[in-house]
Amino acid sequence: MLCFVNDYSQGAHEQILKRLSDINREPQTAYGRDQYCESAKEKIRAACQSPQADIFFLVGGTQTNATVINSLLRPYEGVLSADTGHIAAHEAGAIEHTGHKVLTLPHRQGKIDAEQLKAYLKAFYQDETYDHMVIPGMVYLSHPTEYGTLYTKRELEEIGAVCREYSLRLYLDGARLGYGLVSPGTDVTLPVIAQCCDAFYIGGTKVGALFGEAVVFPKKAPAHFFTHVKQHGALLAKGWLLGLQFDTLFTDRLYWRIGEHAMEAAQELVRVFEEKQYPFFLKSPTNQQFVILENSRMKSLAQKVSFSVWAPQDENHTVVRFVTSWATRPEDIEALRQLL
Amino acid sequence: MLCFVNDYSQGAHEQILKRLSDINREPQTAYGRDQYCESAKEKIRAACQSPQADIFFLVGGTQTNATVINSLLRPYEGVLSADTGHIAAHEAGAIEHTGHKVLTLPHRQGKIDAEQLKAYLKAFYQDETYDHMVIPGMVYLSHPTEYGTLYTKRELEEIGAVCREYSLRLYLDGARLGYGLVSPGTDVTLPVIAQCCDAFYIGGTKVGALFGEAVVFPKKAPAHFFTHVKQHGALLAKGWLLGLQFDTLFTDRLYWRIGEHAMEAAQELVRVFEEKQYPFFLKSPTNQQFVILENSRMKSLAQKVSFSVWAPQDENHTVVRFVTSWATRPEDIEALRQLL
Amino acid sequence: MLCFVNDYSQGAHEQILKRLSDINREPQTAYGRDQYCESAKEKIRAACQSPQADIFFLVGGTQTNATVINSLLRPYEGVLSADTGHIAAHEAGAIEHTGHKVLTLPHRQGKIDAEQLKAYLKAFYQDETYDHMVIPGMVYLSHPTEYGTLYTKRELEEIGAVCREYSLRLYLDGARLGYGLVSPGTDVTLPVIAQCCDAFYIGGTKVGALFGEAVVFPKKAPAHFFTHVKQHGALLAKGWLLGLQFDTLFTDRLYWRIGEHAMEAAQELVRVFEEKQYPFFLKSPTNQQFVILENSRMKSLAQKVSFSVWAPQDENHTVVRFVTSWATRPEDIEALRQLL
Amino acid sequence: MLCFVNDYSQGAHEQILKRLSDINREPQTAYGRDQYCESAKEKIRAACQSPQADIFFLVGGTQTNATVINSLLRPYEGVLSADTGHIAAHEAGAIEHTGHKVLTLPHRQGKIDAEQLKAYLKAFYQDETYDHMVIPGMVYLSHPTEYGTLYTKRELEEIGAVCREYSLRLYLDGARLGYGLVSPGTDVTLPVIAQCCDAFYIGGTKVGALFGEAVVFPKKAPAHFFTHVKQHGALLAKGWLLGLQFDTLFTDRLYWRIGEHAMEAAQELVRVFEEKQYPFFLKSPTNQQFVILENSRMKSLAQKVSFSVWAPQDENHTVVRFVTSWATRPEDIEALRQLL
């Protein structure tokens, strides 16, 4: 079975496994207070050009979103998100579980923009009854988005400016950030993100780690963030497992190299689909590609290849998603080419 | 530095690491719907003699406690615990974060008993104003307890009977269950626990896994427990990492063998302390041992050995805790002996 | 200043005040366990033809919605509502504060229908990832809606049938129910509502009481609902103040007579606006009427009459809302007529 | 039936009822933005000698406690209370429902003191694992306490000093404050409370109002406290009902006169019990008196007098509580005297 269903279907980049194995019997301080976490934090601070940043390592994305958002909002505040945002649609109400409403804005290919944000906020504060409503306290973006689309530096900066104007915090979900950082489709870099955002996370789970997300507060973490993490059940006892993985990812550009590998595979995938004349729903600048399949073709293909069913296109066609990762090999794409 | 500070200071039993490495590039279904999870569940069901049990794998203990307790309580209900219980004292309010009060009972070496439970419930329902108070909906036990003490089969059954009488659910936190299962100090087995409890978890993090806890509902899980897990940010994308670890632990009695290894080391530790005439605060029947150190002795020892400071004993003495694990070697104990 | 801004701008129907005064020094059992609550409950049960109904009296609408919804949902469930629903827009996130997401459906003049509901639920359960999303557990309706529109018996029954098919509970917010019950625009009666819904409330605050809402569970209240109410801070110490008001409202059809009074005033209002040739945004079958005012006209009128600004219609016009109540007098409408 | 069961068994002081009746048809701005609320706030600010105080009116005590505490704590913080505190014991987990743990300290006749508070905080921060625990963020006191006991100015100031030292907020529950303000047993006045506390409430429900509690933030309310109130379902639509009551209570010292009336009755009650040689469990300096009754005597008395059963004293005796209020008449006490 060929696997293009997502970028978290296999274990971890071999260098990560190797280092975990190497230090297996070395006693460590628990709860992320070990040397590997410290080393990883230093490397991430350098990569973000944020020498003062507070950094924490959590296990997964939904957990990270809920913990960070809950720590940055006051009880009466909500978080603005594209209606397709992960927190709005696919986290089983984890944000509402912490007492906060997700306020949605209509997306454009997964993105929102400064203009619509400003229009929303202006209308909100013009409404005489606004204090009977959930006060917007934060903007949530993901980069890449659910559609594999990307923000530009200018778009991020404009959104950041609106946030400052209306006293909103800006938070960026980087579950697949590694693919965004190497994409030719954007000029957004880690220092740009650190400049614009109050908090963001650098995704490990979908970019070659076994698991793990690095939360960065470029200025300063909320008071007692460690205790927030514990309260959310998000504190890993053997925290060095996270630190060591990020230390490895941020050594010798491994995080970027993993992204580049997957991006090359994704471009090859595009070429194969073009060659076979499959129509695209969306050619993304990242490692996710969306093509339209005739339904019976989809069913027969699904016998030999795993991919995601995205949405019905019309009665006889379906949008499906193919994803590449650190683990995609040239022979996988060639095998797919044979099947198409 | 000799390490006796806890049983989660090192990675994982080598067999676990090896299998993770072996299947690293094998594509898996995400979110715990893979073959390794299935296989591990079957083995756990067999070990519990509970062929109908619903089983889920989560990452850590606090997360597991919060998710299970929240899923089994109605909003107005609280959970009864020894005042030393982990949920009462050391989870940063994770249970209260889900809206539920932890109702405490005074402990005896970490344990509570059926009699005091019954007295509490009787008094509660005799109070005319009980419906202005938090209704007890669950009993939380840990086995071994925070003090390394253990319940007997009879004690568990008696507590279970009181729970049924008052419509409480019974939940057992088995963070260190592996040490309890092999201790000569109790006749409690997995089938006994499955018989008595509505839910319990078999701890992996502290018993030789990298991380992971196996939640067992011997009768039936609460509806949509998978979604509960997701909502709590407790769903691991690469769920097979958990399944594979528990599959390994439940193959060829590895879980018990790890327990036995640590217990032998703990008994050796006791002999060393006895030989050196250190007074015991508590000789536990498990892998935690509590001795009393003179304070200046404690400080000098701490330069070469890591252990936990438990509580002051008097002005000049402190209770400290030494813990053994899968990773404790005979030479570690011999080295400690030299230092004492 | 003429007052048409809403139906809760004045105290209470004089009969209510009189009775409160009459029993002022009579000692009562606290927390709603008095004879007046009992008497009111009996009268409401009779009016609903629901002899088994469990009934509770709460103080206000948002409080009632949060308490009832929280008591009927499991933690992982959300509540479906029109996007204009009060719980979705104007309760400051009170539902999310209890941990539950409000899932919205596009409204038609404040209403949703069985067909769109069914389409949503069908699509939801067809989505392979539905268990990563908030499971719909309830439908929230209001009758009359925010737009003063009404459901028919058939519409309610159809929605009820979809709810039963998908195991959703059906809850109806009757903040302004008194106006719906006497409107010629619907055949929905209290027994019809009791037949269709799992829970609903009969609004007092907006229908002639000082405050108070009567929650009706036609079959059975959730276990320990009294404690739910207390936990939500919604238990009134002097509960008889609520019982006595509802006892008065349900004696000699006072609740209906208040509705009829306001409806006659609303119809007179319509005639006045028609006579003066003001365009209607919506002619509602209840006590709320929506007309379109030219902006400068609106401003000058606002000097002498209070009304609600609803929404901008175009650059030069605004939709405004006029509301009648138990306290609207013929001379108020005549005075308005003079001003138009 | 003679009524000494509590101070909220009857309606309201007649002056309050009269004014409610007087303005019944006067249109008011909703949600507490009316002239009566403004007037009441000015009078309360003057009485507290806190010209900058932010003041809000809520309906009941549990609601007020949950709303204020939730608004002043960060998510990871808990509130310290005497173990007999109302929030700890008799609010059905309303505080935990907002996600915060109530941390308890052993009481002395309902009180805690600065010394034990400081000892707790010192030990807490000395514990190496404190960031795995609930961080104390607030101290909750009630004055009078559940036992009718009172703090002195010095005690309050000392507690306030510890709070400042450890960055805790200090909150005082004044459900029965009116009785404390007139008691010879303390030198605590409203200005003293305003000086020491970050927030407190002046109770109306138990001191002659139909309902209502005035929340005072002597320095400044938390941002968007109005929206907090709405989110908690604690915003009364007809807010002027609260403002008018407090305006009346704070006109011509009515609040104090009600307190004095009840205190005189309580002293008369003490004399009667002394004359009849009933032993006291506690002679409180407020309107609650605790005597010990032989059980069969208690049962026969309960046929003709209502009082509260407090706790068993021994096998044959019970502690019971008698309470006076604005509504207690000399003839009630004389009638009781006859029965004793």
**Backbone angles phi and psi of C111, in degrees to 5:** -105, 160
Q: Is the dihedral of CA A159, A164, A168, A170 positive or negative?
A: positive
3 state SS of B147: coil
**Backbone angles phi and psi of A304, in degrees to 5:** -120, -15
Confidence of residue D255 (pLDDT cuts 50, 70, 90): very high
Q: How far apart are CA D86 and CA D69, in angstroms?
A: 13
Q: What are the tens digits of pLDDT across the range C84-94?
A: 999 999 999 99
- Out of B24, B231, B306, the one facing A11 most closely (by C-beta) is B24
Q: Are strands D135-142 and D77-82 parallel, antiparallel or unpaired?
A: parallel
Q: How far apart are CA A184 and CA A207, in angstroms?
A: 18
- CA-nearest of C142, C173, C176, C154 to C286 is C176
Confidence of residue C23 (pLDDT cuts 50, 70, 90): very high
Which residues are CB-contacts of B180 (< 8 A; sequence separation ≥ 6)? B143, B144, B150, B174, B186, B188, B259, B286
3 state SS of A77: strand
- Out of A98, A131, A228, the one facing D226 most closely (by C-beta) is A131
- Chain A, nearest residue to C74 by Cα: A97
Selected residue of B131, B132, B229, B236 to mutate for chain C interface (largest C Cβ count, 10 A): B131
DSSP conformation class of A261: H
Q: What are the tens digits of pLDDT across the range D139-164?
A: 999 999 999 999 999 999 999 999 99
Q: Report the mean per-residue pLDDT for chain D.
A: 97
Confidence check on the interface: ipTM exceeds 0.90, yes or no: yes
What percent of chain C has pLDDT above 70? 100
What percent of chain B has pLDDT above 70? 100
- Chain A, nearest residue to D71 by Cα: A75
- Whether D102 has its CB under 8 Å from any CB of chain B: the answer is yes
Residues of B in contact with C71 (CB under 8 A): 75
The CA distance from B12 to the nearest CA of chain A, in Å, is 7
DSSP C179-213: HHHT-TT----HHHHHHH-SEEEEE-TTTTSSS-E
The CA distance from D163 to the nearest CA of chain A, in Å, is 18
Confidence of residue C29 (pLDDT cuts 50, 70, 90): very high
Q: Report whether pLDDT(B284) > 90.
A: yes
Q: What are the tens digits of pLDDT across the range C84-141?
A: 999 999 999 999 999 999 999 999 999 999 999 999 999 999 998 999 999 999 999 9
> Are C70 and B75 inside 8 Å of each other by CB?
yes
- Chain C, nearest residue to D210 by Cα: C238
Per 3-state DSSP, chain D is made up of helix, strand and coil in percentages (nearest 5) of: 40, 20, 40
Q: Where are the beta strands (DSSP E) in C83-158?
A: 102-105, 135-142
B98 close to C76: Cβ distance less than 8 angstroms: no
**Backbone angles phi and psi of C314, in degrees to 5:** -150, -165
Q: Is the dihedral of CA A289, A291, A295, A301 positive or negative?
A: negative
Residues of B in contact with D100 (CB under 8 A): 93, 96
Q: pTM here?
A: 0.97
In residues, how long is chain B?
Answer: 340
Chains A, B: CB contacts within 8 A come to 143
Q: What are the tens digits of pLDDT across the range B88-140?
A: 999 999 999 999 999 999 999 999 999 999 999 999 999 989 999 999 999 99
The CA distance from D260 to the nearest CA of chain A, in Å, is 40
Q: Report whether pLDDT(A1) > 90.
A: no
- What pLDDT score was predicted for residue D285? 95
- CA-nearest of C268, C310, C262, C328 to C110 is C310
- What pLDDT score was predicted for residue B295? 96
- What pLDDT score was predicted for residue A214? 98
Q: Report whether pLDDT(A332) > 90.
A: yes
Q: Report the mean per-residue pLDDT for chain B.
A: 97
Among all chains, which residue has been given the structure tokens 């454009």? Answer: A108
- Whether B90 has its CB under 8 Å from any CB of chain D: the answer is yes
Touching D: which chains, 3+ CB pairs < 8 A? A, B, C
Could you give the angle at the alpha carbon of C169 between the alpha carbons of C166 and C175, nearest 5°? Answer: 140
Q: What are the tens digits of pLDDT across the range A100-156?
A: 999 999 999 999 999 999 999 999 999 989 999 999 999 999 999 999 999 999 999
- Out of C74, C132, C228, the one facing B76 most closely (by C-beta) is C228
Q: How far apart are CA B213 and CA B56, in angstroms?
A: 8
The CA distance from B13 to the nearest CA of chain C, in Å, is 32
- Whether A224 has its CB under 8 Å from any CB of chain D: the answer is yes
Mean pLDDT across C197-216: 98
Q: What is the CA radius of gyration of chain B?
A: 20
DSSP conformation class of D278: P
- What pLDDT score was predicted for residue B155? 98
Q: Report whether pLDDT(B1) > 90.
A: no
3 state SS of A91: coil
Chains A, C: CB contacts within 8 A come to 54
Q: Report whether pLDDT(B331) > 90.
A: yes
Q: What are the tens digits of pLDDT across the range C260-300?
A: 999 999 999 999 999 999 999 998 999 999 999 999 999 99
Per 3-state DSSP, chain C is made up of helix, strand and coil in percentages (nearest 5) of: 40, 20, 40
Q: Report whether pLDDT(B75) > 90.
A: yes
> Are B74 and C135 inside 8 Å of each other by CB?
no
Q: Report whether pLDDT(A300) > 90.
A: yes
Q: Report whether pLDDT(A160) > 90.
A: yes
Q: How far apart are CA A208 and CA A250, in angstroms?
A: 12
Confidence of residue D1 (pLDDT cuts 50, 70, 90): confident
> What are the CA-CA distances from residue A335 to residues A1, A304, A324, A329, D150 (Å)?
10, 10, 14, 10, 82
> What are the CA-CA distances from residue D74 to residues A330, D96, D117 (Å)?
51, 13, 20
- Out of D70, D75, D230, the one facing A71 most closely (by C-beta) is D75
Mean pLDDT across B317-333: 97
Q: Report whether pLDDT(D221) > 90.
A: yes
The CA distance from C73 to the nearest CA of chain A, in Å, is 13
Kindly state the helix (H) or strand (E) to which residue A248 belongs, with its residue range. helix A240-249
Q: Are strands D2-3 and D305-306 parallel, antiparallel or unpaired?
A: parallel
- Whether C236 has its CB under 8 Å from any CB of chain D: the answer is yes
- What pLDDT score was predicted for residue B25? 96
Q: How far apart are CA C290 and CA C266, in angstroms?
A: 11
Q: What are the tens digits of pLDDT across the range A62-106?
A: 999 999 999 999 999 999 999 999 999 999 999 999 999 999 999
